[in-house]
Amino acid sequence: MGAIGHVRRSRLWIGAFSGVVAVAALLTVLLLDNGNAAAQANAQAVYCLAPERRADFLQAVANLKLGEPVENAPDQVQIGTRTIPLREWRVDGATADDFRVACAAFSATASGAPTATAGGGSTVLTFVLALVTALVPVGLTSWLSYLTSVRRDAEALRRSRTDAVRAAATRFSQAAEAYLQLRANSSAPGDELLATMHERRLELAAALAPVTAAAGDRGRPQGLRTRLETELRGDVVGRAGKIDNSLAELILTRVGALVAEAEEVATEYESGTRTPHTAGSKHGMGS
Name the strand (E) or helix (H) holding 4. Answer: helix 2-49
For residue 271, the model assigns a pLDDT of 79
Measured over all CA atoms, what is the biggest interatomic distance in the chain, rounded to whole angstroms? Answer: 134
* Residue 53, phi-psi category: left (phi > 0), alpha (psi -120 to 50), beta (remainder): alpha
For residue 176, the model assigns a pLDDT of 93
Q: What is the Cα–Cα distance from 41 to 249, expressed in whole angstroms? A: 97
For residue 179, the model assigns a pLDDT of 92
CATH hierarchy code of domain 158-271: 1.20.120
Q: Which one-letter DSSP state was computed for residue 206?
A: H
For residue 253, the model assigns a pLDDT of 93
Domain spans of the chain?
2-136, 158-271
For residue 48, the model assigns a pLDDT of 87
- Whether residue 85 contacts residue 75, with contact meaning beta carbons closer than 8 Å, is answered with yes
Q: What is the Cα–Cα distance from 247 to 119, expressed in whole angstroms? A: 95
For residue 275, the model assigns a pLDDT of 42
For residue 152, the model assigns a pLDDT of 85
- Work out whether strand 82-85 and strand 68-70 pair parallel, antiparallel, or are unpaired: unpaired
| Residues found in the chain | 287
For residue 204, the model assigns a pLDDT of 93
For residue 104, the model assigns a pLDDT of 87
Strand ranges (E), 40-179: 68-70, 73-79, 82-85
CA angle 209, 211, 216 (to 5 degrees): 125
User: Which residues of the chain fall short of a pLDDT of 70?
Assistant: 1-36, 111-125, 127-128, 214-219, 272-287
Q: What is the Cα–Cα distance from 63 to 57, expressed in whole angstroms? A: 10
Q: For residue 204, which phi and psi values (nearest 5 degrees)?
A: -65, -40
pTM exceeds 0.85: no
